[in-house]
Chain A
Amino acid sequence: MPTFNQRQIIETIEMIKIHHLDIRTTTLSLSLRDCCSSSCDKTAQKIYDKIIKYSSKLVNYAQEIENEYDIPIVNKRIALTPISLIGESCDDVDYVKLATVIDKAGQEVGVDFIGGFSALVDKGFTKGDLKFFEQIPEALAFTNKLCSSVNLGTSKAGVNMDAVLKTADVIKKTAELTKNFDSIGAAKFVCFCNAVTDNPFMAGAFCGINEAECALNIGVSGPGVVSSAIEELDKKADFGEVSNLIKKMAFKITSAGELIGRRMANKLGVPFGIIDLSLAPTPARGDSVAEIFKAMGLQDAGAHGTTMALAMLNDAVKKGGIMASGYVGGLSGAFIPVSEDAGMIDAAKRGVLTIDKLEAMTSVCSVGLDMIAIPGDTPNSTIAGIIADEMAIGMINKKTTAVRIIPVIGKSEGESAEFGGLLGSAPIMKVNPASSEIFVNRGGRVPAPLHSLNN
């Protein structure tokens, strides 16, 4: 006689209904390596046709599965092979044209975001890469769903400092072109050190050159599930107990994600890729990573002890997730975007959370400096300095780090930027006024680091 466990059912419904457990994204990773040609028009057509062919059912199927399990699948996305690689064979390449076509295909299939307007320049630029960098700002300004990313460094190759400086220019120019909307274009662009090739989260999702023809990657989230579980724990419970509890919650969240990811992949008739278990907050109350720090006993995100809390959280999330799925990948861990997390926004507004503390936290979080608004008149060289610091943390510690920073043109420290939707709103944070000008203009490449004598 089949039966069920009432407690498990109630717990699951509470996780979804009260603590915002959701499938944050179902992302179709799609290779465009067969779309290269010598004509830009022909390449654009091939890209368009391929996106339509593979993803026309993505949104419908996601809605069907959402209905079967009553779990929201918040975003449906596509991640493409870095476009710089696909476009550079064209004699007459126009990356803005390719961006527009990709955006149109994304609109047509009804996805929320389409990523992969990307370049991998950690060791140097090709001629195509240089042209690509020049056209990123315009491409982002003239599209809605397109997301762009660049990889500037790796632990194996070092950091391309010429690209760091160019990236700062790209960010500033994109912000200027979208200044009527609080410079939102810059929120759709991220630069990485050690970018991962199977990440389903935006703005940095792309289909790596080592990836299969196509695959379905899934990103699950539920910081509220973790914070509410810790809140119920005795305040004197030691770190071993806290860590174990996080692992159990991560296991449950990941199991739900794996089930839904595999169902999606089956329906679409594509292989299941990976599940990215990331505690990704949203601006909704109770869906916050900062709340987890509070539940652990810190007065606010940014208090001394936050880096340790995040390190333990990130590690426990991975440990729990790995038990639940054979293919954990992507960025997996805890995201710390400022504008997308109500608790982070509060802490930043009150000045207890600063860029310097966030930088320290990125040495142990799953990605990096994320969704941070800074004054619109911040010099490009200072932005390049912020990026360089973040790349250094990633390169030396063999981890993925990233910068998604928005210089809000026309606004200054203490004001607020409104991005809307999942991107939220952000208080404009203070940057260090000391100049990085001469340093970042040295250019060249920071040599690959030594991987022994670790201290």
Chain B
Amino acid sequence: MDNNNENQIIITVTGADKIGIVAAVSNKLAQYCVNIEDIKQTIMQNSFCMIMLCDIKNMNVSFKEFKDSILELSQALSMEIWIQKKDLFDRMHNI
């Protein structure tokens, strides 16, 4: 596992399930050259939850700009979107 890869981020999208969520998010990611490495879906607090592992090595904007843009999208979709660097989860849950 690439535990120390600083370029890996986790995007978590939650809210009521609807058509076009995956398409809208992945379109945005493609626009910024963010590569999707894995996608899983599950239920969190009784709502739809999609978790994506992405690589931002070739991202063409700053982290802040990227995040602001995704947060704008989250409002348009009425979904909650969390973007976090992956090393947080690796550190917290592994000895």
Contacts and interface: CB of A to CB of B under 8 A. Distances in A.
A376 B67 CA distance: 50
Counting chain B residues whose Cβ lies within 8 A of the other chain, the interface size class is: 20 to 34
Given A2-B38, A67-B63, A13 B82 contact: yes
B83 interface: yes
B76 interface: no
B64 A8 contact: no
A256 interface: yes
A67 B67 contact: yes
Main secondary structure of the interface of A (DSSP, over half): helix
B5 interface: yes
Contacts of A12: 84, 88-89, 92-93
Interface stretch (A68-76, A298-306, A352-360, A404-412): A68-76
A4 B91 contact: no
Contacts of A178: none
A68 B85 contact: yes
Interface in B40-95: 40, 42, 44-45, 49, 51, 53, 63-64, 67, 82-89, 91-93, 95
Contacts of A9: 10, 12, 51, 89
A64 interface: yes
Contact of B88 (A1, A10, A64, A69): A69
Nearest to B9: A68
A10 B92 contact: no
Nearest to A323: B95
Contacts of A454: none
A374 to B, nearest CB: 40
Contacts of A3: 1, 37-38, 53
A134 to B, nearest CB: 48
A68 B84 contact: yes
Contacts of B8: 2
Given A10-B42, A10-B44, A69-B84, A4 B51 contact: yes
Counting chain A residues whose Cβ lies within 8 A of the other chain, the interface size class is: 20 to 34
B79 to A, nearest CB: 14
A8 B83 CA distance: 15
Contact of B89 (A1, A4, A251): A4
Contacts of A25: none
Contacts of A2: 1-2, 5, 8, 37-38, 53
Given A3-B38, A8-B92, A69 B85 contact: yes
Interface string A360-398: 000000000000000000000000000000000000000
Contact of A68 (B44, B45, B51, B63): B63
Interface of A: 1-6, 8-14, 64, 67-71, 251-252, 255-256, 258-259, 323
Interface of B: 1-2, 5, 8, 10, 12, 37-38, 40, 42, 44-45, 49, 51, 53, 63-64, 67, 82-89, 91-93, 95
Which 7 pairs across A and B sit closest by C-beta, in order of nearness? A8-B93, A255-B91, A252-B92, A259-B91, A2-B2, A255-B92, A70-B84
